[in-house]
Structure 1
Amino acid sequence: MTAPCRLCGSANLVGVVDLGATPPCELFLTADQLDLPEVTYPLHLRVCTECWLAQIPPLITPEETFTEYAYFSSFSTFWVEHAREFVAARDLGDDAFVVEVASNDGYLLQHVVAQGIRCLGIEPSANVGQAARDKGVPTLTAFLTPETGAAVREEHGPADLVVANNVYAHIPDVIGFTKGLRALVADDGLVSIEVQHLLTLIELNQYDTIYHEHFQYYTVASAQRALASGGLTLVDVELLPTHGGSIRLWARPNGEPSERVTEVLAREKAAGLHELSGYADFGARVARVRRDLLRFLVDASAEGKTVVGYGAPGKGNTLLNHCGIRPDLLAYTVDRNPYKHGRFTPGTRIPILAPERIAEDRPDYVLVLPWNLRDELTEQLSYVRDWGGKLVFPIPSLEIV
């Protein structure tokens, strides 16, 4: 039986795409675990026809994923610069107080610290939170709940700015989390949330961003309802290129939606995302991505060509598992994060090595799994041209560069 909508409680959920069953995408395996069984969970995206929140069932808990986490934001030069520009653009006074929820390794708050502004990170993963503290970023190891928000407010005072980047999709209790944001922010303060936009996910076949850590997928319309459930009003929205297309939601306890909110809502409606028509052919387009990538890998193998991967992101594991790609088709992948070196991708058991291995082996093709960092990685991998190698991008459609 399908769980009811976690936002409005409706039982009217309709399937959008079924990606089979996969392990949690960040549970990378050690060599000692290769002969042990792996638990897999269904990965079926549905949309609620009452509030239009797209969602997957809460089959794993945040505690299972985020107590110790494999993702460190600062290994991406792009994300650090994105955060620096965000902080630099804010008119923060000397007496301001900034809180970031899911602050990771301090990739953003380090820029606030550099300005001498009081701040606090709230990060549930002990290992990445320690990395933030090592940078001088005050960090509380905790999940955000209404109680956590109230306790932080009691101890530190209300926040002038609360930042929640790339976390609003990661929490199954969306109402409780939003109430936590409200508890943190001052009555005249602002909340800034960045999250992938369902509009671009659907339009550009970005189905690999569907994984068990992401419990819901937002349009501006559904985000507006989610914010209201916790006592916040959506007052503005920005369209960002991050993650292939994201929205930066600006909310406060009181206010009126801007003209930009109205414009993006109109775009979503025109795309059919406020009704079922906008989701109708997504499954067929996802199947085409899978067929094209598998055809390329099988043909390359038959021709004696070597294909390796670049990156071991969560989204890559959705793609690898859905396509059934194993080391016979993708010899290994590399990643800048030393935490992942010597481990193996969940489900598909592909070895993860250091990036230097690519220059040593000089493969014919490099399959870029974090395609959302295309510009950054195209520059980083420019040396592949030296031996005639080519880059392969699987999303939104197969492209060999």
Structure 2
Amino acid sequence: MNQILLHQRRNASQTVTGCRSCGGTSLQPFLDLGYTPLADRLIKPETCEVPELVFPLVVAFCPDCALVQILETVAPEILFADAYPYYSSFSPALLEHSRSNVEQRLAERELGPSSLVVELASNDGYLLKNYVERGVPVCGIDPADGPAAAARKAGVPTLCEFFTESFAREFVSEHGQADIVHANNVLAHVADTNGFVSGIRNLLKPDGTAVIEMPYLLRLIEHVEFDTIYHEHLCYFSLTALDNLFRRHGLFLNRVEELAIHGGSLRIFVEPFEATDTGVKQMLAHEKAIGLDQPAYFTEFSARVDALREKLVALVEQLKGQGHSIAAYGAAAKGATMLNYCGLDTRHLDFVVDRNVNKQGLLMPGAHLPILDPEELAKRRPDYVLMLAWNFADEILAQQQAYLAAGGRFIVPVPEPRIVG
């Protein structure tokens, strides 16, 4: 590895030795995905010859509190720089998911002009705009300049800041506490897990509720969703690990819903008073019964990941050997992990398509595949398309009926490589 590159990496990241939740020092690694580039750091074509920053991607289990986590923390100013390209509003499925979430909250709780709803990592305002349309005061908090600016342009008040414990205190002193705090797919991203949770505790009214979503560790393991592991995702939560984390800060996990989105997610309802329902108790009991709180549960995962890689690479190479052309769909972070761990690049795939116009014209990290508009599938008609954004498979298949009707086929890699169409 280039010495300058290695020096940059050492200055830009830190290897943790204590658990991100409880501080325990008995972390047990069970999966090593090697040195990989940052999954969301898309490459400008004119800089493709410049060496990319790469970081270790090792996953470990904490036997003291059951938290699964990666061991490398990349500095947030590098992870979430001003070029951060993810805009939630480009996914119709995610927009509908968010609209439904808000409708349920409005049905459960009286919210009006004197209320306050806050979203942490609010992105481009895709969720909060549903409250704005109903006359409920909101404030988004997001550290990425582009999405925060897009939210403000859409009429969603948004602060471009990292959410921390100290920021929460400042916010409350100026704006007051919140009736509802939304935090979707962000808890896993923060390096100071305890500070973030403590900030939520400060932000909530005494009768307030934090509605938090994150991928569910159990489904990740069951479905071999290893590509959802990347440097932006520091933690991978079971309900057991979440319960341990929140109780430490005087918050209680009172309700839980399991969702299909993102390959299997949890929506938890956290409050500063204890009123745990039966569903939470049953899920905690199930996790204990299957051993999700024990290191032995994870021992075979690495071998299953390797087996999936071997099958996918063999399938792609077989199709290429038969003269077929192959593209990919979805320039998402999970796609970067999939491509880099499997060693798939311009030798195997011609291009990637993505609906996010902010990604089009750039290159995938590591693999350096060009990112194009999905309309290119109809124009170029590759024989096969590797579905990197498999978590939106139904949405993508519905959008690509013309491609399928013309004889195109999709390769869905998870949980087992298979051909669709």
TM-score, normalised to structure 2, is 0.93
| Residues 60-75 of structure 1: pairs in structure 2 closer than 5 A | 60-68=74-82, 69-75=84-90
Paired residue for 1:330?
349
- Following superposition, the deviation at residue 323 of structure 1 comes to 0.3
Paired residue for 2:191?
172
- Following superposition, the deviation at residue 386 of structure 1 comes to 2.3
The answer to whether residue 375 in structure 2 is matched with residue 356 in structure 1 is yes
Is 115-124 or 59-68 further displaced after alignment? 59-68
* Match 1:148 to one of 167, 172, 182: 167
Paired residue for 1:125?
144
Give the letter for the 1:179 counterpart.
S
Give unpaired runs (5+ residues) of structure 1: none
Give the letter for the 1:293 counterpart.
L
- Following superposition, the deviation at residue 239 of structure 1 comes to 0.5
- Following superposition, the deviation at residue 267 of structure 1 comes to 2.0
The answer to whether residue 414 in structure 2 is matched with residue 398 in structure 1 is no
Identity of aligned residues (%): 41
Paired residue for 2:251?
232
Indicate if the aligned counterparts of 1:176 and 1:230 stay in contact, CA closer than 8 A.
Answer: no
Paired residue for 1:6?
20
Give CA deviations for 1:133-176 in whole Å, capped at 9, x if unaligned: 01000001111111111111111111000000010100011000
Indicate if the aligned counterparts of 1:178 and 1:229 stay in contact, CA closer than 8 A.
Answer: no
Give CA deviations for 1:243-290 in whole Å, capped at 9, x if unaligned: 111111111111132111111112212332111221121111101110
The answer to whether residue 43 in structure 2 is matched with residue 24 in structure 1 is no
What is the RMSD of the two structures over their aligned residues, measured on CA atoms? 1.1
Give the letter for the 2:214 counterpart.
V
The answer to whether residue 329 in structure 2 is matched with residue 314 in structure 1 is no
Paired residue for 2:9?
none
Paired residue for 1:343?
362
Give CA deviations for 1:106-132 in whole Å, capped at 9, x if unaligned: 000010100011000001101110000
Aligned pair count? 401
TM-score, normalised to structure 1, is 0.98
Q: Distance in 1 between matches of 2:386 and 2:290?
A: 31
Q: Distance in 2 between matches of 1:313 and 1:319?
A: 10
Indicate if the aligned counterparts of 2:115 and 2:178 stay in contact, CA closer than 8 A.
Answer: yes
SS in 1 for 2:33: strand
Q: Distance in 2 between matches of 1:146 and 1:372?
A: 32
The runs of at least 4 consecutive aligned structure 1 residues that moved more than 2 Å come to 228-231
Paired residue for 1:93?
111
Paired residue for 2:11?
none
Indicate if the aligned counterparts of 2:22 and 2:245 stay in contact, CA closer than 8 A.
Answer: no
Give CA deviations for 1:176-221 in whole Å, capped at 9, x if unaligned: 0001111111011000100001000001100100000000100001
Q: Distance in 1 between matches of 2:111 and 2:64?
A: 42
Q: Distance in 2 between matches of 1:208 and 1:195?
A: 15
Indicate if the aligned counterparts of 2:16 and 2:72 stay in contact, CA closer than 8 A.
Answer: no
Give CA deviations for 1:352-392 in whole Å, capped at 9, x if unaligned: 11111110011111111111111111111222222211111
SS in 1 for 2:324: coil
Is 382-391 or 37-46 further displaced after alignment? 382-391
Q: Distance in 2 between matches of 1:270 and 1:380?
A: 41
Q: Distance in 1 between matches of 2:290 and 2:378?
A: 44
- Following superposition, the deviation at residue 44 of structure 1 comes to 0.7
Indicate if the aligned counterparts of 2:118 and 2:181 stay in contact, CA closer than 8 A.
Answer: yes
Indicate if the aligned counterparts of 1:44 and 1:56 stay in contact, CA closer than 8 A.
Answer: yes
Q: Distance in 1 between matches of 2:411 and 2:144?
A: 33
Is 269-278 or 35-44 further displaced after alignment? 269-278
